[in-house]
Structures are given as C-alpha cells and as structure tokens.
C-alpha cells in the first residue's frame, strides 16, 4: 500500500528572460542554451553582409561591424530563425574545423548544411553580438 503522506514534487519557479534592446539594423536571432539546458546568451544579428571574403577578411569584417563571426550553433539558430536575412549562399562561421588545419566551418543558407572550406576560399560573412544571461 502506498504511503498517503508521500511528498509531491514542487514545481520550479518560472524564470523571466528579458529580451535585449536592439540598435537600428539589428535582428534578434534567439537564445543559445548551455549543455545542461540553462540559458547561455542571446544572439543578435548585426546589419551588413560581406561577400567574397577569405576567412581572415571575414573576421575583420565582423570585428569592424562591432561583433564576431557566429559559431556553428549560432549559425544553426540563424538559419532556423533569420534565414530571410541571408542570401542563399555560404557564410563563414568563426570556428576552425581543426587547429592548424587551414579550414573553417561554414553554413549554407540555402539547404542548411554545415561543412568546412579552405581559409583562403571566398565566402560571405555576417556578424553577431552576444549578450550573456
């Protein structure tokens, strides 16, 4: 017979997430979670679209725009939530495919694939800024 005085689980208090204030030309892309499911940071897509850039020039483009190249996870989020803000083309991520490999990851904003390309290749670039939570 089950104990009638057994304690019931207490529901966790809901947390409020405050969305960031956006500057002109910025687009809120969404939230990146940590591996344990807790919020990590907001991703903001910055204005501007660089084209025919090597990886090094893409990094400079992003820095000059006030941000950084997105990570692969951030690019997946951008593809899911902001695809309309991208050309149907290949965009650099900020991640090397392996240290000293001479390759970096990119996102195809037509089909959604991610693969790597030689750093001297010329792809498009967008910058993001991150707001930690």
Report the first-to-last Cα separation within the chain, whole angstroms. 47
pLDDT at 103: 96
pLDDT at 42: 95
The confidence score (pLDDT) of residue 98 equals: 85
pTM: 0.85
Confidence at residue 101, expressed as pLDDT on a 0 to 100 scale: 85
Give the pLDDT of residue 99: 76
Strand (E) or helix (H) holding 72: helix 72-82
Which residues in the chain show pLDDT less than 50? none
Q: So what's the architecture of 48-126 in CATH?
A: Roll (3.10)
- Mapped onto helix, strand or coil, the DSSP state of residue 30 is strand
Alpha carbon 98 to its chain's center: 19
pLDDT number for residue 10: 72
CA 9 to chain centroid, in Å, comes to 36
């Amino acid at each position: 017979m089950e104990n009638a005085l057994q304690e019931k689980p207490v529901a966790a208090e809901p947390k409020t997430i405050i969305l960031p204030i956006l500057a002109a030309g910025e687009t809120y892309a969404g939230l990146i979670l940590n591996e344990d499911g807790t919020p990590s940071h907001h991703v903001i897509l910055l204005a501007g679209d660089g084209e025919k850039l090597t990886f090094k020039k893409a990094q400079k483009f992003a820095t000059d725009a006030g941000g950084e190249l997105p990570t692969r996870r951030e690019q997946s989020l951008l593809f899911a939530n902001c695809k309309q803000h991208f050309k149907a083309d290949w965009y650099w991520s900020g991640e090397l495919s392996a240290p000293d490999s001479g390759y970096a990851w990119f996102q195809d904003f037509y089909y959604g694939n991610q693969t790597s390309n030689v750093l001297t290749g010329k792809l498009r670039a967008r910058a993001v800024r991150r707001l930690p939570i």
